[in-house]
Amino acid sequence: MDYNLESYGNFDNELQALEVEAKKKKILKSQEEWNEHLTDLQFSCLCDCFLRLSWYQKKRFLLSIIKNIKNVNILVRFIGYLGPLYGKMACYSQVSANCKRPSEQIVVDHNRSLEWDCLKSTLCVHFQWLTSLPPYRQILLILALLQLAGGSMVRKIYLPVINHCNKQLMAEETANRMGHNTEVESVERVILVNEDNVKYPKDHPCTVEVEKLKKKWDDLIKKYRQDIIGEGQSTKVNKKTKKTKSKASSEHMDYFQTLPIWIVKKILNFLDIKSLHNMKKVGKYWANACNDLIKDRRMRTTLNKLILINDIDIPEISDGSKALTSRQRRLHGLMNRGAVLNELRPKVKKSLQTRTCLLTSIDKTEEICRYIDKFLVFPRLIREDVLLYKPYPCLLKDLNVILDVENDLMNQQATLSYSLSQKLSDTFSISAANLSDW
């Protein structure tokens, strides 16, 4: 009688259970991929909003997220990331009479193209989303935001992060007596403080002058709005003008025109050039919006062509640039020359070997370290026949010995190998004559 596996029992239930588990794993994997896609989409929206924030709001937003992290190990690792980026406490000055690059400082600017109410609600949503993520995920996103903010922001938040870490260590030491305090600080109290009320006193002369300029700006915008849209025009119609309607009053203002212009441009950017030209005929508002978008596309096309050109020089692109004077050329040469004269420098073309080991080791972290490949490193392939690296003969006047490195190099190697072999043979040779005294 032949026996097989089916004769011992029915395995249909087990096979069905395995299929169900495989489907669950597949669904779980697709759900994780979808969650990762949603996270990337949410973070790209956060980056768009973060770039438009003022320096003051950027600093408060980052510190509020960091202060919400209570895990000391995560904070210590984050400080370790900030350490190399923090740089030296002192920096070298540029050798130039006129320096066009000021030191990186946080300037007093404004929130670009964002109203305060819109900014307040947007930051609340982003703050709640970031605090809901795991701490290690928050650190990765904060590092990406610091990459956008620049080195000055790293120096500004470095010491507050260290103070927060020390406070967390003290809180852990006194946790048994005082108890854990896991209360998250209010978004309204931490981030969304109107910076105008904090930094600028109302009785200061500069603040008064700024208020006058704001009022003047509002009046100017109101005047332009009346000219373009026709807002605030008198609705009274005389008997003589009942039958005739002006072109401005016949134009209807829809909800699309009430949106900010940068949102309108993003929506219209999905249309082609022919559709934009046709839309210009609708009204003045559409003509202005379409003209700006067409100009932006032409400029983007020009910039893409210039980016593809290798080793392009900016003065060759700019029109109307003034010629450098002799003094400016001399100072520019002093800054770029360094300690080695141009006649002694090796003229070596860049090759693939100029990439350092740092670039090859961070392929997986390309998004965080995407600016490192822009640095020019010193070439590794050095021509040995140039004047800078040519060895000169060594002269010993006291002993009347002249040593030429190029000619006597092989003799030195032969002498060294002979002396080592002779020394080893004298040390390790054993013969009967040496053992006669024993």
Give the pLDDT score at 414. 57
Average pLDDT over residues 68-74: 84
Residue 392 lies in a domain: yes
> CB within 8 A of 326, min separation 6: which ones?
none
Let me know whether 171 and 32 are in one domain.
yes
Final residue of a structural domain among 168, 195, 222: 195
Residue 374 lies in a domain: yes
Q: Is 345 left (phi over 0), alpha (psi -120 to 50) or beta?
A: beta
Amino acid at 15: L
Give the pLDDT score at 2. 53
* Portion of the chain with pLDDT greater than 90, in percent: 0
Give the pLDDT score at 411. 61
Band (pLDDT 50/70/90 cuts) for residue 402 is low
180-189, 273-282, 337-346, 397-406: range with lowest mean pLDDT? 180-189
Give the pLDDT score at 239. 46
Find out whether 343 and 387 touch, Cβ atoms under 8 Å.
Answer: yes
CA torsion 296-302-308-313 (nearest 10°) is -110
Higher pLDDT, 174 or 433: 174
265-324 pLDDT, tens digit per residue, is 888 888 888 889 888 888 888 888 899 899 889 888 888 887 777 655 555 555 556 778
Average pLDDT over residues 237-262: 60
Phi, psi (5° rounding) for residue 403? -110, 115
Residue 393 lies in a domain: yes
Let me know whether 134 and 265 are in one domain.
no
Residue 208 lies in a domain: yes
Given a cut of 60, whether residue 366 has pLDDT beyond it is no
Q: What is the secondary structure of 146-169 as a DSSP string?
A: HHHH-HHHHHHHHHHHHHHHHHHH
Let me know whether 125 and 32 are in one domain.
yes
Let me know whether 179 and 274 are in one domain.
no
Average pLDDT over residues 342-365: 51
Residue 185 lies in a domain: yes
Residues 361, 365, 370, CA angle at the centre, nearest 5°? 95
Given a cut of 50, whether residue 369 has pLDDT beyond it is no
Higher pLDDT, 422 or 93: 422
Residue 4 lies in a domain: no
In SS3 terms, 304-346 reads as HHHHHCCCCCHHHHCCCCCCCCHHHHHHHHHHHHCCCCHHHCC
Distance CA 218, CA 318 (A): 35
**What is the total count of domains within the chain?**
4
Let me know whether 178 and 227 are in one domain.
no
Three-state DSSP class for residue 403: strand
Average pLDDT over residues 346-352: 55
> Which residues are paired to 401 by β-bridges?
396
Give the pLDDT score at 80. 80
Let me know whether 167 and 279 are in one domain.
no
Distance CA 26, CA 19 (A): 11
107-151 pLDDT, tens digit per residue, is 566 776 667 777 788 888 888 888 888 888 888 888 888 888 877
Q: What is the secondary structure of 21-83 as a DSSP string?
A: HHHHHHHHHHHHHHHHHHHHHHHHHHHHHHHHS-HHHHHHHHHHHHHT---HHHHHHHHHHHH
Nearest to 377 by CA among 359, 394, 362: 359
Let me know whether 130 and 214 are in one domain.
no
Give the pLDDT score at 55. 82
Q: Could you tell me the sign of the dihedral formed by the alpha carbons of 424, 427, 432, 434, in that order?
A: positive
Given a cut of 60, whether residue 54 has pLDDT beyond it is yes
Amino acid at 327: R
For the chain, the straight-line distance linking the first and the last C-alpha, in angstroms and rounded, comes to 87
Higher pLDDT, 414 or 166: 166
Higher pLDDT, 342 or 46: 46
Residue 337 lies in a domain: no
Let me know whether 146 and 225 are in one domain.
no
- b vs e for 285-324, b when ≥16 Cβ sit within 10 Å of the residue's Cβ? bbeebbeebeeeeeeeeeeeeeeeeeeeeeeeeeeeeeee
Let me know whether 261 and 361 are in one domain.
no
Chain position carrying tokens 């790293």: 154
Phi, psi (5° rounding) for residue 394? -95, 125
Give the pLDDT score at 323. 78
Let me know whether 283 and 209 are in one domain.
no
**375 vs 101, 129, 325, 371, 378, CA distance in Å?**
18, 35, 29, 8, 10
Given a cut of 60, whether residue 361 has pLDDT beyond it is no
| Domain span including residue 149 | 11-89+105-195
Domain CATH code at residue 307 = 1.20.1280.50
Let me know whether 403 and 368 are in one domain.
yes
Give the pLDDT score at 320. 56
Mean pLDDT for all residues in the chain: 68
Given a cut of 60, whether residue 56 has pLDDT beyond it is yes
Distance CA 288, CA 295 (A): 11
Give the pLDDT score at 166. 84
Give the pLDDT score at 332. 76
Residue 37 lies in a domain: yes
Let me know whether 81 and 159 are in one domain.
yes
177-225 pLDDT, tens digit per residue, is 655 554 444 444 444 444 444 556 777 777 788 888 888 888 888 888 8
Band (pLDDT 50/70/90 cuts) for residue 338 is low
Given a cut of 70, whether residue 340 has pLDDT beyond it is no
Amino acid at 402: I
Give the pLDDT score at 14. 72
